[in-house]
Amino acid sequence: MKKMLLTTALVAGLALAGCNKAPEPPKTETGATSTGDVITASSNPQVGGADMLPTKTIVENASASPIHKQLVAAIRQADLVATLSGTGPFTVFAPTDEAFAQVPAVTRDGWMRPAQKEVLAGVLKYHVVPGKLTAADLEAKIAEGKGAAVLKTADGQDLTVTKSGGDILLTSASGNKAVVTQADVNQSNGVIHVVDAVLLPKM
């Protein structure tokens, strides 16, 4: 009789333990910042209404963005897919389709010609800075530089970063400017900052 009561109590205890077990949180695609903080897909900003997954590369996420079709076409034309799909990390200032539309059609169409592949690659590399620089990192560099920071781009030219009101402002080596309209879109191999103009290096 004692053995039966002990068995019954044991079964009841196991059942209660099973009921009290906390449910497992839903699995989400995640990435990590340079400081080790975990970024979930839901916390990463959308771009053009499309989800940007922190587990995907710069090229994969840019390809999913409905406002970066011209940029992706240019990356493919310049044979930079493998580079921007690599480990990195990279900071990419990503011009929107509207930004590309501001470039004169004759220049824009010329960039996409096979004979101009190296020129196009130079323009795109001017939008890439080695290393991952968040908006906070950029602002810290601006503060350290007493109002301006100079970044070395992947094509070896300088890109100047300042603040204009609350915005991060980029000034190219040729003098044209772009504003960061959306910052800190995290990628598995870096970060994208959306900008409203195509930056022009010195040719």
**What would the pLDDT profile of 45-69 be if each residue is shown by its tens digit?**
889 989 999 999 999 999 999 999 9
Rg (CA), the chain: 24
The two beta strands, 38-40 and 90-95, are: unpaired
Banded model confidence at residue 11, pLDDT cuts 50, 70, 90: very low
pLDDT tens by residue, 103-125? 999 999 999 999 999 999 999 99
> Which residue would you say has higher pLDDT here, 23 or 90?
90
Range 42-195 has CATH code 2.30.180.10: yes
| Share above pLDDT 70 across residues of the chain, in percent, rounded to a whole number | 79
**Do residues 56 and 84 lie in contact, with contact meaning Cβ atoms separated by under 8 Å?**
no
- Residue 141 CB partners (closer than 8 Å, separation 6+): 133, 149, 151, 161
- DSSP-derived secondary structure letter, 160: E
- The residue with greater pLDDT, 202 or 42, is 202
Q: Give the global pTM.
A: 0.80
CA distance 11 to 76: 63
pLDDT at 14: 38
Q: What is the pLDDT of residue 26?
A: 41
Domain map (residue ranges) of the chain: 42-195
Q: pLDDT value at position 1?
A: 45
